[in-house]
Structure 1
């Protein structure tokens, strides 16, 4: 059955509403293609932060509005594929954030915030990671975690976008735990207590920015 025909079977029922996890959303060849284009980008395309580097496609989101840029075709086909799942509430994805995480790098607890339509979709390339979800309070109590395998797609909506924080620990190894709620949806078999070694991961996060300025830049 085509994924778009029955996206509901990928909804992770052990998590709060709503998370969908689709293993092997892209092929090995497509993963290689993504990595080739990401690492073939000119150096000015990269933005360097204190603990990782990233690339923006489609424009840089801003509270005053995003100046739209043309999406390269190698990314557009994955945006179209995600759009075919009809998960964006009749909106269309128009912005892509590419993050590089080398082993030991992560991201602090945060929400993606109001600049985006409250749906986020992410393809993982090159390595797995563990994505944590936490209460948005002082204690930051963990709600659950997801194992994101290579070539998988995760879709985050509703409370899981707006209510909870998400983060990635700064570690070189991940341990499967009882908090890992999507193991039955994964393509591999994993056991509680199993340790997984990280490699360099490229995350391709595809979103919708509602506020777009009329000026458009072509590249």
Structure 2
């Protein structure tokens, strides 16, 4: 949406999804409450957005379809619904509605579906992190402990007390070990993400209907690179706004029992908050808030060092990836390309069933062997290795240089994307998730993603059996491909007798279900099919 004011359509006979409703607001002199408004307008179809200009006395209501807006206007124009206090409504179509943060003086209510295309790097949501029984037990334990009410909501602190006046903790004044229920929650989070340090500070917040928390970034030089929050008792919509451009917003449903994890950019560059209201719009339906309790899990920095923030980025390759992935493929590109001629059948099947004219991104395209599989597709490839891109260019494919952790292509522009033999070269969980987030960002809602990665469970025909999941796989580069003018990396071993150089490629091989669990942490992606091919996991993923 644009930031312009709503206006009447150029053709009044051409209805839109947006309604301008005069003499009715959520608050102010004309206020009737959001629950009543949602109930009244929601009866005619799925609502996507509600902006209340309280000072100016009007509402902007956006429906999912034009048909729903037409039905609402036909039924409500000139009427005085009892649910709205008998106020007479004046309802007209609007050509567009401004976004929730376009300078409105009132309140706003947006359905998460309206921002599904927005991807927040470093944001993960793990539904069903705890069971219903575990949730009930936690709530019972928490309510058996003393609450503090020094701020507008009740809180409990464990490990270290959070100081709201200075937005930090006193690292020299620990409160003692975490109680068992907190320690268990922290350990469960750490098992899910062993690459993150174990939490040692937990704040428990109680939110009653109507309560929220202003958009904020947790103090950068007080806590480490992640913030986690476990939701109990009620679903809630949390808002994420890009700190440098608040017009970029994502609304996310946090279900009861879910864990939201903010790492890297989501932690440092996006503000998160909860609007002060009693209802949420979830999938177009009105959801009344009930009591919600959240556990915020953090790891404190004993020595405050703001430079750590500048060094943290989910879009920056690790040193391991630079030497044992990027450097290796640049060195072996010509030899590697000569061994990679035949497209794999399942990838070919995926590409061949896409409709003619579909726009497809191949992220990590290598020598481009999939870019010409289906000439009826519009395909573009990207890769880190310039020597491999040179091979693609010789074959007249459309390619460009880019790291898969940050792809400079337009959000939602593609009908499909493929990512073949890339994920097993990511050395951290966060990088694996970031690749998936980028794929989710590139593909339109309803599109598909196809991912192939090496399996720990090798089939009977494989020449390899892995002892662990993180391994160095040798590549024996024939002497004729070695550039005598280029010094060999320190890890490379020369075998003069066999006339080759042995390079070591880093790989993380995936156990059964591991990839599916990663995909579950990326909003907007759903696995629809899993197959095994040549000791590789092959996932078909829907963008929703």
* TM-score, L = length of structure 1: 0.76
1:25 is displaced (CA, Å) by 0.7
Take 1:111 and 1:46, find their aligned partners in 2: how far apart are those partners? 23
1:98-121 deviation line (CA, Å, top 9, x unaligned): 000000000011111121112011
User: In structure 1, what is the equivalent of residue 181 of structure 2?
Assistant: 74
User: In structure 2, what is the equivalent of residue 110 of structure 1?
Assistant: 216
Q: Contact conserved, 1:173 with 1:195, CA < 8 A, in 2?
A: yes
CA 1:86–1:111 in structure 2 vs 1: closer, same or farther (change >3 Å)?
Answer: same
1:13 is displaced (CA, Å) by 8.7
Structure 2: stretches of 5+ with no match in the other structure: 1-115, 163-167, 304-544
1:59 is displaced (CA, Å) by 1.2
Q: Give 1:175-214 correspondences, 5 Å limit.
A: 175-176=281-282, 191=283, 193-211=284-302
User: In structure 2, what is the equivalent of residue 40 of structure 1?
Assistant: 144
Task: State whether structure 2 residue 163 is matched by structure 1 residue 57.
Answer: no
Take 2:188 and 2:285, find their aligned partners in 1: how far apart are those partners? 33
Q: Contact conserved, 1:102 with 1:201, CA < 8 A, in 2?
A: yes
Q: 3-state SS of the aligned residue for 1:35?
A: helix
Q: Give 1:110-129 correspondences, 5 Å limit.
A: 110-114=216-220, 115-129=222-236
Q: Contact conserved, 1:59 with 1:66, CA < 8 A, in 2?
A: no
Task: State whether structure 2 residue 258 is matched by structure 1 residue 157.
Answer: no
Larger Rg: 2
Take 1:84 and 1:156, find their aligned partners in 2: how far apart are those partners? 16
Take 1:175 and 1:87, find their aligned partners in 2: how far apart are those partners? 35
Q: Contact conserved, 2:205 with 2:293, CA < 8 A, in 1?
A: yes
Q: Contact conserved, 2:206 with 2:294, CA < 8 A, in 1?
A: yes
Q: Contact conserved, 1:172 with 1:198, CA < 8 A, in 2?
A: yes
* Residues paired across the two proteins, number: 181
User: In structure 2, what is the equivalent of residue 21 of structure 1?
Assistant: 125
1:70 is displaced (CA, Å) by 1.4
Structure 1: stretches of 5+ with no match in the other structure: 1-11, 177-190, 213-219
Q: 3-state SS of the aligned residue for 1:124?
A: strand
1:174-201 deviation line (CA, Å, top 9, x unaligned): 013xxxxxxxxxxxxxx3x221111100
Take 1:201 and 1:16, find their aligned partners in 2: how far apart are those partners? 24
Q: Contact conserved, 1:60 with 1:66, CA < 8 A, in 2?
A: no
1:116-160 deviation line (CA, Å, top 9, x unaligned): 1120111100001111011325x7324201100010111111111
* TM-score, L = length of structure 2: 0.32
Larger RCO (CA under 8 A, 6+ residues apart): 1
Q: 3-state SS of the aligned residue for 2:192?
A: coil
Take 1:74 and 1:205, find their aligned partners in 2: how far apart are those partners? 13
Q: 3-state SS of the aligned residue for 1:67?
A: coil
Take 2:296 and 2:268, find their aligned partners in 1: how far apart are those partners? 17
Q: Contact conserved, 1:47 with 1:55, CA < 8 A, in 2?
A: no
Q: Contact conserved, 1:21 with 1:154, CA < 8 A, in 2?
A: yes
Point out the structure with the larger helix share: 2
1:165 is displaced (CA, Å) by 0.9
Correspondence for 2:242 among 122, 132, 135: 135
1:64 is displaced (CA, Å) by 5.0
1:18-46 deviation line (CA, Å, top 9, x unaligned): 1111111101111111111111113xx42
- Let me know the Cα RMSD of the aligned residues: 2.0
